[in-house]
Structure 1
Amino acid sequence: MLQRIVLINDKYGGFGGTEEYINSLARLLDPLGYETSIIYGKKYPKNFSNPLIREFRLPFLKERYAKAKPYELAKLCGYINKIRPDIVYIHNIFDYRIITAIRKAHLGKIIWYCHDHFFYCLTELKVFNDRQYELPLGKHCITNIQAGRCIERYPLRDLNLNEIFLERKKLLESSSLFDEIVVISKYMESNLIKNEVPKEKINLVPRQVYIPEKIERKEEGKNILYVGRVVKEKGVDHLIKALEFIYCNVKLTIVGSGDAGYIEKCRFLAKALKGKKKGLEIIFTGQKSHREVFEFYKKASVVAIPSLWPEPFGVVAAESLAHEVPVVAYNVGGIDTIIKDGETGLLAEPRNIKELGEKIGYLCSNKEESRKMGKNGRKFVKLKFDPQKHVDAILRLFS
């Protein structure tokens, strides 16, 4: 019998990890008799389409800090009534009013996938400028932002922080309206429990990862690869500084776009370091498609993940291992879900630039050990994160 699922997200298309997940899930569910629809706020590129997904656009869903108006909620409920889904699967939705309206409009099962820290962190990043941050959402968050202690994804100090705090508390409380909650790392599970989300609703589900059937390695020399947003919380400046502690000629390729001011800072650091270290190459490629990124994996000796913020999971780490490329990363957040220190890569103490550089250099200089970790990593990803395992787990929640 045909089953209908509607996904609700702020964005649709080729934006990032959530949008890639949505398209991947539709492909996996289609052969199983599921009809997939999406209600979203913004699409990029504008001509993007997936023949397996019916589209319904509501621009107000794209706003992170807007308060949905009654007529907007009525439109949303109208679409839900039109689709008549068996399952509502919510992703990046940031307004408790929307969740409350969906619960009133839909008597069936509602599932929420908690992708990041938005529900319980005002800055969304859960990290100080100088160290990690582990406390749950509270009034202290306002004080820390006002004092400039937090790395901020978006400028917050000029906004009404008390109002944002109250909105976020209500959003967190609205999690009680979900029938099931999906997380993809024990770290994310622990954060929700710490913030008093009902433990019995939380389900640790293996994230699906694209695993190429065949591995085609084209490694040339000692190539270090970074893939991701080029922003402060991702620690790209740490990675560039870490090259000073690598005592062989290497090439660093930085794939991704981000904050223009921060990218300029990283380019300045790169230029200064290249002036001191002869034979060092540092290349900024800008944004690339998933298909293009996979070509970079083929040529990489090691993938570096110098994140300062606690990564909820680490999709880049999993993709790297799927391509038999070992990973060196700061040990933050859920990254240890993927990187088993000494087996599938190497973990460095967060913000220890010297240790990060030395461990990257070790894998660049010890090819046999590097290949062994890469092969271990691919086996691990195939065992734990095969797409079918994710679908099986999601279907159990659907039933």
Structure 2
Amino acid sequence: MSHGARILLVTRHRAVVGGVESHLRTLLPLLQARGIQPGLLFEHDAASGQARIDGGLEFPVWSLAALGRQGVLDAVAAWRPDRVYQHGVQDLDLEEALLERYPALLFLHAYYGTCISGMKRQASPSPSPCERVLGPGCLVHYLPRRCGGRSPITALREYRYQRRRLSLIHRYGTVLVGSRAMREEYLRHGLAEARVVCVPLFGDVVPDAEPPAPRPASGQVLMVGRLTDLKGGVELVRALPRAREALGRELELVVAGDGPERPRMEAEAVERGVPVRFAGWVDRAERERLMREADVLAVPSVWPEPFGMVGVEAGAVGLPSVAFEVGGIPDWCEPGVSGELAPGKPPTTRGLADALVRALADPEHHARLREGAWRMARRFNASAHVEALDALLKAPGR
């Protein structure tokens, strides 16, 4: 983009509450370093004490909650952005108004406009990813397949909402995604191949300067993140005794995170005799320390993760992953190279246990996975992302 160009980033939250906000917090200073003038429009402001996307940076910001829809549109018009970079909002009237006024790009971080619940996963008869194209059939299967809540009224309302989202997506000249699986998702939903561009994502951990040095095995299997049923923590606990028996040695589960599935995981661990240590939420330094001690990162998600940045962050310190083959995970977890994959259609305890055994049984193979994970992480870097984004921002048209 030309020096001094004004790019309006639009998102739901000013506070860093998840992966989208972490991504934007890292991206904004990189754009400024290239001479781009960013502005930030958000729907929900940060509470006192919450980390903010714009923390420590100086550029214009506008709050939908404070100014209202017309107020932010007027304020943005006075600022005169060259392009809007949309990251997904709840207020579709606001999104449509911006589309009508400015050239715009959209980054699809999640299943925006392709699923009633947004999870692309059914819970019955067993948890498994869904590849259905959004349509009337989704309403038919929503309740019996336990795709989300139990209210048919809510299902119908959300279906109409997601249909509108999808119609807005079709109005963007270009949409960006972070994985091959996400690109395939939107191609199935009718977008032309030339309009759906996969750009390399990046984490907030800089890969080590040198490949991982040899070290003794610790017997630790690490899981990082919020503990919900989508993340598969119970499946992981159930897989560990099978893997332990096959390996002939003890495995300890270390969990950095918390959430509503923790009591179920604790109960399963007691019932199956699995040593488990819950570290709770940890800061970046402690997370890195745990990653350096573990033998493998487990990412047992039973929904199709759009990408799964935690695997790249683990690779930065030479920690390979074991995961179900769902969503964007295969972009960074390559079997036999940077980790091991278990079948994901459907995900099973046996498959996950077998993947753990493949990763850990042979010390030489495990050492190769450690180096492969480190090399993988070096591919997903901020420079490659910003270069790709800059080219798209320079492109003419909407």
- Unaligned 5+ segments in structure 1 are 61-70, 275-279
1:272 and 2:274 aligned: no
Q: Which residue of structure 1 aligns with residue 134 of structure 2?
A: 137
Alignment of 1:277-316 (within 5 A): 280-316=274-310
Q: Which residue of structure 1 aligns with residue 25 of structure 2?
A: 23
Give the Cα–Cα distance (whole angstroms) in 2 for the partners of residues 99 and 182 of structure 1: 16
Q: Which residue of structure 2 aligns with residue 241 of structure 1?
A: 238
Q: Residues 219 and 97 of structure 1: is their aligned pair in 2 closer, same or farther, counting only changes over 3 Å?
A: farther
Q: Which residue of structure 2 aligns with residue 225 of structure 1?
A: 222
Alignment of 1:194-209 (within 5 A): 194-209=188-203
Pick one of 371, 391, 395 that aligns with 2:386: 391
Q: CA deviation at 1:322?
A: 1.7
> Aligned AA for 2:236?
L
Check conservation: 1:120, 1:195, Cα contact below 8 A.
Answer: yes
Q: Residues 214 and 178 of structure 1: is their aligned pair in 2 closer, same or farther, counting only changes over 3 Å?
A: same
The 10-residue stretch of structure 1 (311-320 or 94-103) with the greater mean CA deviation from structure 2: 94-103
> Aligned AA for 1:243?
L
Check conservation: 1:13, 1:20, Cα contact below 8 A.
Answer: no
Count of paired positions:
376
The 10-residue stretch of structure 1 (36-45 or 5-14) with the greater mean CA deviation from structure 2: 36-45
Q: CA deviation at 1:91?
A: 0.7
Q: Residues 228 and 53 of structure 1: is their aligned pair in 2 closer, same or farther, counting only changes over 3 Å?
A: farther
> Aligned AA for 1:16?
G
Give the Cα–Cα distance (whole angstroms) in 2 for the partners of residues 17 and 357 of structure 1: 28
Q: Residues 288 and 12 of structure 1: is their aligned pair in 2 closer, same or farther, counting only changes over 3 Å?
A: farther
Give the Cα–Cα distance (whole angstroms) in 1 for the partners of residues 163 and 216 of structure 2: 49
- Unaligned 5+ segments in structure 2 are none
The 10-residue stretch of structure 1 (336-345 or 194-203) with the greater mean CA deviation from structure 2: 194-203
Alignment of 1:25-40 (within 5 A): 25-40=27-42
What SS does the aligned partner of 2:218 have? coil
Q: Which residue of structure 2 aligns with residue 257 of structure 1?
A: 258
C-alpha RMSD of the superposition:
2.2
Check conservation: 1:182, 1:202, Cα contact below 8 A.
Answer: yes
Q: Residues 88 and 255 of structure 1: is their aligned pair in 2 closer, same or farther, counting only changes over 3 Å?
A: same
Percent of aligned pairs with the same residue? 22
Check conservation: 2:207, 2:315, Cα contact below 8 A.
Answer: no
Check conservation: 1:151, 1:233, Cα contact below 8 A.
Answer: no
Alignment of 1:1-399 (within 5 A): 1-44=3-46, 46-47=48-49, 48-49=51-52, 50-54=55-59, 55-59=61-65, 72-106=68-102, 109-129=103-123, 130=126, 131-147=128-144, 149-152=145-148, 155=149, 157=151, 159-209=153-203, 210-214=205-209, 221-247=218-244, 248-258=249-259, 260=260, 262-274=261-273, 280-350=274-344, 351-382=347-378, 384-399=379-394
Q: CA deviation at 1:227?
A: 1.0
TM-score (norm 2): 0.88
> Aligned AA for 1:231?
T
Check conservation: 1:219, 1:301, Cα contact below 8 A.
Answer: no
Q: CA deviation at 1:118?
A: 3.0
> Aligned AA for 1:59?
A
Check conservation: 2:112, 2:166, Cα contact below 8 A.
Answer: no
Give the Cα–Cα distance (whole angstroms) in 1 for the partners of residues 358 and 219 of structure 2: 11
Q: CA deviation at 1:240?
A: 0.5
Give the Cα–Cα distance (whole angstroms) in 1 for the partners of residues 179 and 374 of structure 2: 19
Give the Cα–Cα distance (whole angstroms) in 1 for the partners of residues 58 and 137 of structure 2: 43
Give the Cα–Cα distance (whole angstroms) in 2 for the partners of residues 163 and 84 of structure 1: 35
Residues 173-196 of structure 1, C-alpha deviations (whole Å, 9 max, x = no match):
111332321011111111111111
Q: CA deviation at 1:211?
A: 2.6
Residues 86-111 of structure 1, C-alpha deviations (whole Å, 9 max, x = no match):
221111213432221112333xx311
Check conservation: 1:73, 1:101, Cα contact below 8 A.
Answer: no
Q: CA deviation at 1:79?
A: 3.0
